[in-house]
Amino acid sequence: MSAPASHTALSRPYMTVDVFTQNALLGNPVAVVLGADGLSDAQMQAFARWTNLSETTFVLQPTPEGLAAGADYQLRIFTPAGELAFAGHPTLGSCHAWLSQGGQPRNPEQVLQECKKGLIPITASAQSALFFEAPSLDSQAVTEAELAPVLQALGLEREQLLMARRLYNGSSWLGLLLDHPDTVLAVEPDFGTLKKLGAKAGLAAIYEAEDDAPLIGRSSREARAFAKQAEEAAQAKATAAQPRLEVRALIGETTSEDPVTGSLNAALAQWLTGEGLLLTPYIAAQGVCVGRDGQVHVQTAANGKLWVGGHTVTVTSGRVLL
C-alpha cells in the first residue's frame, strides 16, 4: 500500500493474532500494528481497509490523560468502514501482541488499556488466557415494529424469540435471545436486508443444564448441604468443559458473520446474568457456522465485575511499512 507523499513510511512491528482459541486458524484474527504513533486517522483507516479483517488495531503511547490514569498503552480500533470505541477480540489480541513485543505493564497485576470507551483492565489467568473487564453497558427496549423486519431477514418466527434488547458497550448490538441453540445455528440470514436495515444482530441461546442433584439431598439438612456442594462441583466441572451459551454475530454493514465476538459476549453476559438467566463462570461457543471453534470464557471477579476472556495465538509476526 502506498503512503501519502507527505508521509515517510516507517518499519513498525506487526502481528496477526487469533483470539478465543488455543488452536491457530479456529478463532477470530486481528491485525495489530505496534509503535503506531505518528499515523493519522486516515492512514489507520486506509490500512484497516487494506487488511479487510473485521478489525485492525494500532497501539500507541497513552494520551497525557491516560498516562496520568495509569494506562500502559492507547489502542485505536478500526473496521474496514470506521473506528470503534471498543471491541473485545481486538482488545485481547492487541494485549497479546503488546506483551509479546516486550511490553511491561506498570501494574504487575494487570494491563490497563486506554481506548475511546475509556480504560479497560486486562489480566492473565493461571491458564494464560487473557481477560478484559466488561465495559459499562447501556441497554434499551426494542419495539415489535423494530423487531419484525429483522426477524424476517433472519428467517425467524416471533415465537422463537424469547427476549430482545439493544445493547451498547462501545459497540452496538441488537441482542436476540432465541428458544434453542439449534435455532441459532439454523439461521440463514438475508445479509442484503440486514444491511438495508442497518442491523447488527447478536443471536444467543442457552443450553439446558442437566439436573444432577442427588436424591439424598432431600433426606436431611446435612445431606442437603452435601448435595448442594456435590451439585456445585459437578456444575463447575461441566461448565469448565461444555458451553452454556451458543452465540452468532450477524453484521449487516459488512454483510458478514463475525467468527467470535468479545464485545457481543460481554454485552450478552451483562444482560443475561442481570436477568438471572445465566450464572458465571460459563463458556460461550461461537463460530461453528463459519468454520471456527471459538470459546469465550466469562467469570465474575470478587468485586462483582464481569470479565470476558479466552486464549490467544500468534499467527504471523513481522514488520509493516506504514
pLDDT tens for each residue of 49-72? 999 999 999 999 999 999 999 999
pLDDT at 233: 47
- pLDDT at position 223 over 80: no
Kind plus residue range of the DSSP H or E element containing 64:
helix 64-68
Which among 264, 268, 275 has a CA at the least distance from the CA of 244?
268
Q: What are the pLDDT digits (tens) for 244-266?
A: 999 999 999 999 999 999 999 99
Does residue 227 carry a pLDDT above 50? no
Q: What element of type H or E holds 265?
A: helix 262-274
Q: Which structural domains are found in the chain, ordered by start?
A: 11-134+312-321 (3.10.310.10), 138-207+243-300 (3.10.310.10)
Query: Does the structure show a pLDDT above 70 at 23?
Result: yes
Contacts of 169 (CB under 8 A, 6+ apart): 86, 117, 134, 135, 136, 137, 138, 263, 266, 267, 270
pLDDT score recorded for residue 127: 58
Over residues 119-151, the pLDDT tens digits come to: 999 997 655 799 999 999 999 999 999 999 999
Distance of alpha carbon 43 from alpha carbon 26, whole angstroms:
29
Q: For 189-212, what is the mean pLDDT?
A: 89
Q: What is the mean pLDDT of residues 198-207?
A: 98
- C-alpha–C-alpha distance, residues 53 and 30, integer Å: 7
Nearest Cα neighbor of 313 from 25, 63, 87, 10 is: 25
Q: Which of 55, 133, 246, 257 is catalytic?
A: 55
**Which pLDDT tens digit goes with each residue over 267-276?**
999 999 999 9
pTM for this prediction: 0.87
Helix (H) / strand (E) element for 93: namely helix 88-100
The pLDDT value recorded for residue 126 is 52
Contact (Cβ atoms closer than 8 angstroms) between residue 120 and residue 86: yes
| β-strand pairing of 172-178 with 161-168 | antiparallel
pLDDT digits (tens, 9 = 90+) for 279-312: 999 999 999 999 999 999 999 999 999 999 999 9
Rounded Cα gap, residues 125 and 82, in angstroms: 32
| β-pair partners for 317 | 15
Q: Is 55 a catalytic residue?
A: yes
Helix (H) or strand (E) holding 28: strand 28-33
Classified as helix, coil or strand, 260 is coil
Per the structure block, which three cell numbers stand in for 194? 440486514
Per the CB < 8 A criterion, the answer to whether 113 and 157 are in contact is: no
